[in-house]
Amino acid sequence: MNQFEQQIDQYLDLDYGITARQAIVEQLYNAVSKAAMKSLSFSEQSGKKGCYFSAEFLLGRLIYSNLLNLGLLERCRTYLNQNGFDAGVFESIDDDALGNGGLGRLAACFLDSAATHGIPLNGFGIRYKYGLFHQYFQDGFQKETADDWLKAGDPWGIRGESEAVTVKFADQTVRAIPYDMPVIGYGGNTVNRLRLWQAEPLSAFDFEQFNLQKYDEAVEERIRAEEITAVLYPNDDTPAGKQLRLKQQYFFTSASLQSLVKEFLQKHGESFSHFPKEFAIQLNDTHPVIAIPELLRILMEEHQLSFDEAFPIVRDTFAYTNHTIMAEALEKWEVSLFLTVAPQVYPYVVLLQNALNREIKERNIEQQDKAALQIISGGQIHMARLAVYASHATNGVAKIHSELLKSNVLPEWYRMYPERFQNKTNGITQRRWLALCNQELSGFINERIGNGWVTDLNQLKRLTAYLDDSASLAQFREIKRQKKIQLCNHVRIHEYGFELNPDFIFDVQIKRLHEYKRQLLNAFSILDIYFAIKDGTLTDFTPTAFLFGAKAAPGYRRAKGIIKFINEIARLISADPEVKDKLQVLFVQNYNVSYAEKLIPAADVSEQISTAGTEASGTGNMKLMLNGAVTLGTLDGANIEIVEQAGEENNYIFGATVDEIAQLSNTYHPKALYESNPRIRRVVDTLIDGTLDDGDTGLFRELYDSLLKGVSWHKPDQYYLLQDFESYCEAKLRANRDYRNAEEFSHKCLANTARAGYFSSDRTVREYAQEIWGI
């Protein structure tokens, strides 16, 4: 037996005194992970290092991807089989879900790509005790439970007791302890690091206090410290104006900077002008932006630099990525609240504001631009403005998004610093999102073009030679069918025996639940199809299963109402024998990275239907494309670049463009559309006419009103569902008809796979390294 297998046996024996055959899953999981860890050491990083500061890292399940990258996946499978286990045993181990959605998953893809290509990039974040909540449905309503992800142990995290630092707040001082996780590049040559900080009380146990009978105070101190990293905020796109959230942000950025400064001092002493040549810090959205005044503070207060010395160092070190144009998601902190968290940092925000004022004076700025060029304004600190001002680069995450940043979100800042604005179109790692989750399609590709694509996704272009090869297309369809059957089996177990039909088209919408993503529009189109089938006006419909996966922020009423609505549609349709051989609707529970790995390879149609100008990029769209689904989508985010690459003829594009929406916005009258279009009226009325029941919660009525009446804070139908309804239904039915020509449709699917090379995060990370970090 070899090293790896022997190590597993040894850990099982040492830690639990058992053999593999006696082990339960958690024991096996820990032993296999530790055995894999044993073969690793963190790479020596010379030269400039990238530091990815992010409040979220949505890693998913680590064991299989780490084994894949180490080349141990097959050996592990054999070992498990020999000991009477299925290779899938670890599917019961929870994901590492320390993130909400796109932004956190992007961070995970970047780490994988950098390590694979030997780019020294380390992640810095928070070791939440509880990650994103688990979701289940009760009577079609979302319920949440805690994500106790550490219950199976954390074999990949190494506690760094000796590298702990302290972080000071207005009302408490805590210890920050790093847990380092290896980020293993494909091939195992580079091992970078993800450092997640955990908050603990200053002293493990204060015996003096204990002796003084201050036991309660010691307990209290522990609770107050641990609270800081207790739980990930489940809000996606709406900032929680909460003190604790700002505490989390300051906690991990201050700890991370302290450890970087320590490392720097050991190497270079006090010659801080060299700092930006040692580290490039990328700020993942505004969440870590408080790092900017904190570094300024450390340099000036602890190392006696002047502002004029420190500011250029800070500016050259940081760069900022924006992930959303939704105005309500741009973080602002009340000065008064800021002062209750990190009062020592505030004077450095003021110094930056003063420097900005001087610059505005020198530059002869237009009067009308001045109000927006304030970091502190109206008693609030605008974190995005702070980031643009005190960093050297600001980027959006898809071409159109980066353009909108310049024209709509931060136009005054763009006029002042045009040279700072960049685009870095998002990407995804093909290791997890093809090699790992779709080994069947990977095999198909390898047989034709070899496996170079695993580290060079542009090689997929060579598949275009097979786009008209009937045998290849037939095999491609057979693989899609296998992946559907695998999903059916998973769904049967996890969705109360639901019998998904693998002969149906699988039409998939998976992403966080948000009004702008328009899951409600998808729901309306399904109802429209349902009624048309019942009426007999739609006779040539190819049977379709509509699959949804999404979590709603627990406090987001409308999002929860939409989940209930779709679950009620599912109930209506499954109870109707007239449509059961034509339609299925399923909202899967607890959609997460691991569920995505099952859904994506099985999808025929990828729903990317956000209102043009609202989705910054999207990355699920890229994963579905890579796995050979056609995009049914709007010209929004990266969809635009997807059809640029794959061809409009291989996808289904519909709806108003960004420019058309802008044109329309002042005269838009959804009520008129509702009144003049009976199809629209019929589906919208199901919200209030008793067709579907929200259990007297008023949720459906609120959705109805949001579309037709509006409320104090927005106009009716602010996301233009009714505007796009007809062209959406038309495009959906066109795809549905096209599917019947199997050969032509699979040509489109394979064309999407073949042209997905651009969307590798390998490309994205290289662009960051070259154009922002100087690595």
One of 129, 323, 483, 518 is an active-site residue; which one?
323
Helix, strand, coil percentages, rounded to 5, for the chain: 55, 15, 30
d(CA 665, CA 264): 52
In the complex, the smallest distance separating the C-beta of residue 100 from ligand 26W, rounded to whole angstroms, is 6
- In terms of CB distance, is 102 or 502 closer to ligand 26W? 102
In the complex, the smallest distance separating the C-beta of residue 401 from ligand 26W, rounded to whole angstroms, is 8
CB 748: neighbour CB atoms within 10 A?
A: 24
In the complex, the smallest distance separating the C-beta of residue 370 from ligand 26W, rounded to whole angstroms, is 26
Q: Are 435 and 442 in contact (CB under 8 A)?
A: yes
In the complex, the smallest distance separating the C-beta of residue 490 from ligand 26W, rounded to whole angstroms, is 26
- In terms of CB distance, is 12 or 106 closer to ligand 26W? 106
Active site residue 382: no
d(CA 295, CA 312): 12
Q: How does DSSP classify residue 184?
A: E
d(CA 260, CA 197): 14
DSSP string, 512-536: ---GGGTHHHHHHHHHHHHHHHHHT
Tokens of 120: 């020294």
In the complex, the smallest distance separating the C-beta of residue 234 from ligand 26W, rounded to whole angstroms, is 9
- In terms of CB distance, is 477 or 514 closer to ligand 26W? 514
Q: What is the 3-state secondary structure (H, E, C) of 52-74?
A: EECCCEEEECHHHHHHHHHCCHH
In the complex, the smallest distance separating the C-beta of residue 241 from ligand 26W, rounded to whole angstroms, is 9
In the complex, the smallest distance separating the C-beta of residue 233 from ligand 26W, rounded to whole angstroms, is 7
Q: Residue 130's beta-bridge partner residues?
A: 231
- In terms of CB distance, is 429 or 475 closer to ligand 26W? 429
Tokens of 409: 């979100």
One of 512, 564, 598, 732 is an active-site residue; which one?
512
- In terms of CB distance, is 332 or 462 closer to ligand 26W? 332
Q: Which of 192, 70, 66 is nearest to 120 (CA)?
A: 192
Residue sitting closest to ligand 26W (CB) = 102
Rounded to 10°, the helix 742-754/470-494 angle is 80
In the complex, the smallest distance separating the C-beta of residue 375 from ligand 26W, rounded to whole angstroms, is 18
Q: Are 288 and 249 in contact (CB under 8 A)?
A: yes
In the complex, the smallest distance separating the C-beta of residue 332 from ligand 26W, rounded to whole angstroms, is 10
Residues 6 or more apart whose CB falls under 8 angstroms from that of 416 comprise 363, 365, 369, 373
- In terms of CB distance, is 268 or 332 closer to ligand 26W? 332
- In terms of CB distance, is 64 or 556 closer to ligand 26W? 556
Q: Residue 52's beta-bridge partner residues?
A: 123, 282
One of 127, 564, 623, 747 is an active-site residue; which one?
623
Active site residue 564: no
Strands 279-284 and 49-53: parallel
CA angle 340, 343, 348 (to 5 degrees): 140
**Footprint on this chain of ligand 26W (rule: CB under 6 A):** 100-103, 106, 235-239, 285, 323-324, 329, 331, 397, 426, 615-619, 637
- In terms of CB distance, is 76 or 612 closer to ligand 26W? 612
Look up tokens 């790692």; give the residue. Answer: 429
- In terms of CB distance, is 404 or 505 closer to ligand 26W? 404
Q: Which of 660, 685, 674, 655 is nearest to 717 (CA)?
A: 674
Active site residue 242: no
Cα dist from 626 to 53, 377, 465, whole Å: 28, 45, 17
d(CA 297, CA 300): 5
Quickly count helices (H) and strands (E) in the chain.
Answer: 32, 23
- In terms of CB distance, is 256 or 324 closer to ligand 26W? 324
Query: Which amino acid, one-letter code, is at 697?
Result: T
Q: Are 445 and 459 in contact (CB under 8 A)?
A: no
Q: Are 581 and 574 in contact (CB under 8 A)?
A: no
One of 49, 477, 511, 551 is an active-site residue; which one?
511
Q: What's the chain's length in residues? A: 775
- In terms of CB distance, is 66 or 322 closer to ligand 26W? 322
One of 429, 455, 619, 634 is an active-site residue; which one?
619
d(CA 170, CA 643): 51
In the complex, the smallest distance separating the C-beta of residue 761 from ligand 26W, rounded to whole angstroms, is 11
Active site residue 49: no
Active site residue 512: yes
Active site residue 511: yes
Q: Are 183 and 110 in contact (CB under 8 A)?
A: no
Q: Which of 760, 91, 56 is nearest to 490 (CA)?
A: 91
d(CA 411, CA 415): 6
Q: Which of 4, 62, 12, 69 is nearest to 35 (CA)?
A: 4
d(CA 210, CA 576): 67
In the complex, the smallest distance separating the C-beta of residue 329 from ligand 26W, rounded to whole angstroms, is 4
Give catalytic residues, as residue numbers: 323, 511-512, 517, 619, 623
